[in-house]
Amino acid sequence: MPEIPRASSEVEPLLSAVGIEAGYRDRLVLRGVDLDILPGTVTAIIGPNGCGKSTLLKVLARLLEPSAGRVLVGGQLANGIPRREFAKRVAILPQNPIAPEGVTVVDLVARGREPHRTWYQQWTAGGEEVVLEAMNRTGTATLATRMLDELSGGQRQRAWIAMTIAQESGVVLLDEPTSHLDPAHVVDVLEMVRDLAASTGRAFVLVLHDLGAATRYADRLVVLSDGNIVASGTAAEAISAPLLADVFGLDARVFADPEDGVPTIAPRLRPRRAGLV
């Protein structure tokens, strides 16, 4: 599996959004969004419901055409790249992916090789090795022959992410990858994503609702509100009590974890009201 250069201030973005406006019919959702995605990083897109998080991911994945602005892949206009070639550079895992009934883990992961195949080839050179490495990197090799629908939620999500790794794309877009998972599996999946970014140089872009998980596992937070990016940077740079109140309507304290310094969000308890059960 090819290694991708680690992020630095001099590294060119793998994926960029420039002046993006997008929406549905006559409803504008994104308004002038600019975003650079650097290699070897985890970017979490956060914001209240309806602010444009999933819409932005769809634009980056070429699933939704912007009404203004442009998406660049390695400096090249995304809409000028053939679909199959684009899939070799950008992968997306939707919030609720659907697999054929009775598919095994190894069969699912192998589907990530689709952009690399031709109509007369089942495998390209090294394709089987790429699938095996993707399963090894995601801890799913021991599940290879198991049916996907027999697995726990956390195991299934690992298998789906293994499929995107087998695609060998430099950028992986994950739409709410921890929804429906219990807290232990949320940590498990996000730690895996963080480790994959560090070990392979891929860029991961995640839509997350869990603010605590976003601040702890993302290298960069992008805060959306009403279709605009209102804050961007490390957790310490992007998250503050006034921002939480303004964007999320959340009255909370933000303080550095005494053990590792990561910003921690603690909602303030409201006084109990008499008569409520």
Q: Supply the pTM of this predicted model.
A: 0.90
Across the chain, the runs of DSSP E, i.e. the strands, are 15-24, 27-37, 42-46, 68-73, 76-77, 90-93, 171-175, 203-207, 220-225, 228-233, 252-256, 263-267
Domain boundaries in the chain? 1-89+169-277, 101-167
Task: State the chain's mean pLDDT as an integer.
Answer: 91
pLDDT band for 116, please (50, 70, 90 cuts). Answer: confident
Q: Which of 170, 146, 169 is nearest to 158 (CA)?
A: 146
What's the CA gap between 193 and 237, in Å, rounded?
A: 22
Q: What is the largest CA-CA distance in the chain?
A: 72
What would the pLDDT profile of 180-216 be if each residue is shown by its tens digit?
A: 899 999 999 999 999 999 999 999 999 999 999 999 9
What would the pLDDT profile of 22-72 be if each residue is shown by its tens digit?
A: 999 889 999 999 999 999 999 999 999 999 999 999 999 999 999 999 999
What's the CA gap between 235 and 152, in Å, rounded?
A: 31
Structure tokens at 75: 């400096």
What's the CA gap between 6 and 13, in Å, rounded?
A: 11
User: Which are the contacts of 72, defined by CB distance < 8 A and separation ≥ 6?
Assistant: 13, 15, 16, 17, 18, 78
pLDDT band for 271, please (50, 70, 90 cuts). Answer: confident
DSSP-assigned letter for residue 87: H
> At the top level of CATH, which class does the domain 1-89+169-277 belong to?
alpha beta
